[in-house]
Amino acid sequence: MIRNSISRRRFIRLGGASLLLTALPRLLKGAPIQLDRVSIFHTTDLHGHILPTSTYDGVGDLGGLARCASVLKKWKRMHPHHMLLDLGDLYQGTDVSLQTQGDIMLRCLNHLDYDGWVLGNHELDWGIEAVHGAVEASRMPVMAANVSMHDARVWKEGERERSSLLPYLIKEVNGYRIAVVAMTTPGMANWFLPELTPGFAAFDPVPVMGSVMQEVRAQKPDAVILACHMGVRPWSNEDDAANRLFALTKAFPDIDAILAGHTHRDQPERRVNSVPYSQANYFGIHLGHLELSFNRETRKLLSVRPTTELMDARYSLDPEVIALTAEDVEASAERLATPVGELAEVIEFSSSPGRPSDYERLIGSAIVAGLRKRDIQVDACLHGLLFTDAALQPGVKTVADMWEVIPFENFVVTASVTGEELTALVEESFRERNHRSLMGLEPTVTGRGQSLRVTEIRRPDGTLIREQERIVLALNSYDAASGGGRFPTLREILAREASKRTLHRLQSRALLVEYFEDHSPVRPDEFVV
């Protein structure tokens, strides 16, 4: 039995050694502590991956939900007292998921009897309609306490029913009441324009947590788990605008463990302000297992043991998941292999402020040509590279190649800006390490870094863009919302009524496919910007 001089929280944090020392007197008396265990299995950031895939470093044949499923079934047999959670960014990221609007992933989660999943930021990439569809398709709760949906705040009991989301769930497992409180990243305002996500907003989870924890504590759970689409960086002990776990654990040290996502890291076990923390990587490359051990006599939580397991070729693909998804996976494979046109010569990716690469000019030309094809006025395009570090080689190109160029489903935005405003937002973009390039107009740049200045911007014919002269700029919806907070000046300028900011339901990758279809063989000297 735990002495009063040692708090429950401190006892848990001390881990196995503390448990052994506490149990020793009873062991000597021949009365060992009887333990009950509860397992929580977790996936995160699957991003639509059913089949094995590769890491960002190019290591292949890893992960995928079909491989995770075979291990989950084994774990469920080994640990019959369990819960199963997903921590968000469930369906955006693959062609097969895009073509089914995420239904293929919900089909699998339903089949595998997940207990719930947390809403991630990429759930909103296709617009709020996709979120509504995913919630409707889910047999299990979809959770995020710190958001509003249908303009109803999930953490408010009086509004919750209208939101269709839950702030938490409590499930009895092996006779113990396990509370899972769900939070998602509050950074979404920096990623999504309000016209793409009407009725939805994300809020700072710290004040929300106070309200939710009061409600949860009243139900007397035996353990409280924070399941969140937020994470921490391995090298950092500080929060950022999108991840608030240090603040949360400082304000609520009675959280028993954190299951995390969003930051795409394999972190089997660490501490965040002494609270156990675990994250199971991305794409199903790792699978997470949190084991809770309770004293059967006192019903107190004695230890928290988080681990992750690499999902490599040691594990087979689950035949039921394969059968459940086979038709859609086959159709997607055929689509990805479809030729879209020919590239006549190599496209280089190296660029610098004021000197866009041919790679960027290809993307910019696709966007501008697609808009003009639909009689939408546009003078220039602002766009950057997306995870590209290799030249695009000549030859026949497929839909799969277009996914390599543009891996995200960004919509296209147009806005009217003055020459003065354009100078300000281009300077801001050029100062970023991952800068955006201006195409269709020619800026003159001096200095570098924070000293960089745009002294003038001219049309291709050499005429000067005057300060109060207006031009129509095209860019993607992510950058228009500030590019994750990198471009606040851009966001502020586009929020002005005079900009006539317009979200077009045209995805940049689809316009790239169309550009190849319309302009094959594609040559840099024929780019429209």
Chain segment 155-170, per-residue pLDDT in tens: 999 999 999 999 999 9
Distance CA 423, CA 402 (A): 31
- Classify each residue of 35-62 as buried b or exposed e, where b means 16 or more C-beta atoms within 10 Å of its C-beta: ebbbbbbbbbbbbbbbbbbeeeeeeeeb
The number of C-alpha atoms within 13 Å of 477 and in the hemisphere containing its C-beta is 26
Of 22-36, 249-263, 410-424, the least confident: 22-36
Report which listed range, 11-20, 38-47, 232-241, is most confident: 38-47
Q: How many residues does the chain have?
A: 529
Distance CA 476, CA 370 (A): 13
3 state DSSP class of 251: helix
Model pLDDT, residue 389: 76
Model pLDDT, residue 12: 37
Amino acid 149 reads: M
Q: What is the 3-state secondary structure (H, E, C) of 354-415?
A: CECCHHHHHHHHHHHHHHHHCCCCCCEEEECCCCCCCCECCEEEEHHHHHHHCCCCCEEEEE
Q: What is the pLDDT of residues 250-265, one digit of tens each?
A: 999 999 999 999 999 9
* pLDDT classification of 31: cutoffs 50, 70, 90: low
Q: Is 453 a residue whose pLDDT tops 80?
A: yes
Q: What is the pLDDT of residues 460-481, one digit of tens each?
A: 999 999 999 999 999 999 999 9
Domain 339-526 has CATH 3.90.780.10: yes
Mean pLDDT of 41-61: 97
Distance CA 525, CA 251 (A): 58
Domain 34-332, CATH among 2.60.40.1120, 3.10.20.30, 3.40.50.1820, 3.60.21.10:
3.60.21.10
Of 14-23, 189-198, 373-382, the least confident: 14-23
Distance CA 345, CA 348 (A): 10
Average pLDDT score over the chain: 93
Model pLDDT, residue 32: 84
* pLDDT classification of 20: cutoffs 50, 70, 90: very low
Q: Are 132 and 142 in contact (CB under 8 A)?
A: no
Enumerate the domain spans of the chain: 34-332, 339-526
Amino acid 215 reads: E
Mean pLDDT of 39-50: 98
Model pLDDT, residue 29: 54
Q: What is the pTM of this model?
A: 0.92
Residue among 234, 223, 213 at smallest CA distance from 279 = 234
| Structure-token pair, residue 44 | 């995160």
Residue among 50, 147, 53, 157 at smallest CA distance from 99 = 50
Q: What is the pLDDT of residues 210-253, one digit of tens each?
A: 999 999 999 999 999 999 999 999 898 999 999 999 999 999 99
Q: Is 172 a residue whose pLDDT tops 70?
A: yes
* pLDDT classification of 25: cutoffs 50, 70, 90: very low
Give Cα 484 distance to the centre of its chain.
Answer: 12
Q: What is the pLDDT of residues 295-351, one digit of tens each?
A: 999 999 999 999 999 999 999 999 999 999 999 999 999 999 999 999 999 999 898
- As a whole-number percent, the residues of the chain with pLDDT over 70 amount to 94
Model pLDDT, residue 30: 55
Q: What is the pLDDT of residues 74-116, one digit of tens each?
A: 999 999 999 999 999 999 999 999 999 999 999 999 999 999 9
Q: Is 3 a residue whose pLDDT tops 80?
A: no
* pLDDT classification of 503: cutoffs 50, 70, 90: very high
Model pLDDT, residue 106: 98
Residue among 247, 285, 244, 248 at smallest CA distance from 264 = 285
